[in-house]
Amino acid sequence: MHLINRLARRLILVSIIIASIAFLTSCTSSSPTASSDQVSPVSRNVQPTLSPPPPYESHLGEAANVQKVLDSIQNNQHGDAPRSIPSTSSSAYPNLSEYPTTTASPSAHPHLPGYPANLTITNETKCKLGFYLQGPTSREFGVEVGKSISLDVAAGSYQFGVDTHLCAGKVPPLFGKDAYEAGSNYTLTLSQENIQPKTGNFVVENNTGAKLTVKVGGTTHTLASGSSSIELVEGSYTAVISAKCGTVNDDFDITKGSTYMGKYWCTGGEIITRLPETGYFYVDNNTGATLTINVGGKTYKVKPGSTTIELPEGSYAAKISAKCGSTNESGVVE
């Protein structure tokens, strides 16, 4: 009986606590200072949540692969890629007036250190293009014909390459440099004209008296005597010219529509790239008979009296033979 009375008192105590909680709740809901019809004021100066900067690379190891491709493009024959153009598109953030800006146009991101720029790449060519972007952000991706791709990139200086191996014809890849400012939008559009090879001509004048081998732009040409023309895309070249008398390198630049004329002779046991100046070897033959003179790789029959032999400038050793014997003479023709 005593135990039952104790349990009853506990139940009564629990009921009192529950009733107190219900009373406090009803008092709170009916309080005039916290009416359900009132809404807490929200500051109009609260800025929207901003996206964090993009990662350094999209996939693990991507940065190293991008750098490898760009090095290959830059170190081999390539064209110049166009630069990106700042855009004037509207801002995605309505309250950017309080952020410091360095351009007149609104942007998708605030002009604050650490926030990205936005880059839109459009392919208006007739072939799929590959893009390689290397800088604070490193990315590699393809863009189909007539399509665009938009991505956020960390602000800073960049190198980029355009892979054109899927395009018809011999189209060299493109290489370029650009810089993107935090909070700015940029567009890079590749047209058919951008990837169309810009060519000039390398005209070879072979004066060696035999076939000439020319290695230039990754191709070897065997050219007969006379004049021949080799079409090259614009860029800097080193042509390796080989003939029976030796080999020489010739450096030159090709621009759109330009022509570089290379002239080559064999003289003095070597190949030369300019018309040699000439001098004279004077012979007074007082032997009373015909002399045989070997000089400059040629043999001359010189009758009694005075004779002039024209020779390109250079050093010579002449062998002179007569009925009474032979002798050697050396000298310089200037």
C-beta of residue 271 within 8 angstroms of C-beta of residue 248? yes
- Tell me whether domains 62-195 and 199-272 share a fold: yes
Which residues are registered as beta bridge partners of 326?
321
Could you tell me the fold of the domain covering 199-272? Immunoglobulin-like (2.60.40)
pLDDT digits (tens, 9 = 90+) for 285-318: 988 899 999 988 889 999 998 888 888 777 888 9
Q: Rg for the chain (alpha carbons), in Å?
A: 42
| Reported pTM | 0.49
Is CATH 2.60.40.1120 the right assignment for the domain spanning 62-195?
Answer: yes
Report the C-alpha gap between 4 and 34 in whole angstroms. 44
* Model confidence band, residue 83 (pLDDT cutoffs 50, 70, 90): very high
Comparing 236 with 267, which gets the higher pLDDT?
Answer: 236
CATH topology of domain 278-333: Immunoglobulin-like (2.60.40)
Which H or E run contains 272?
strand 270-272
Secondary element (H or E) of residue 194? helix 192-195
The pLDDT tens digits of the residues spanning 116-163 come to: 999 999 999 999 999 999 999 999 999 999 999 999 999 999 999 999
User: Distance of CA 103 to CAs 51, 70, 84, 154, 211, Å?
Assistant: 20, 30, 15, 17, 61
Share the mean pLDDT of the chain. 79
Band the pLDDT of 237: cuts 50, 70, 90.
Answer: very high
Question: Residue 310: which residues within 8 A CB-CB, separation 6 or more?
Answer: 278, 279, 280, 281
Residues facing residue 280 across a β-bridge: 310
Helices (H) and strands (E) in the chain, counts: 3, 23
**Tokens in use for 269?**
């046991």
Closest of 169, 159, 194, 165 to residue 80, by C-alpha: 194
Per-domain residue ranges for the chain?
62-195, 199-272, 278-333
Contact yes or no for 195/162 (Cβ under 8 A): yes
For 63-67, the CB contacts below 8 A with 24+ separation are 63/134, 63/138, 65/140, 66/132, 66/133, 66/134, 66/138, 66/139, 66/140, 67/134, 67/138
Nearest to 281 by CA among 304, 315, 327: 315
Decide if pLDDT at 204 tops 70.
yes
Residues 281, 311: contact at Cβ < 8 Å? yes
pLDDT tens readout for residues 171-196: 889 999 999 999 999 999 999 988 88
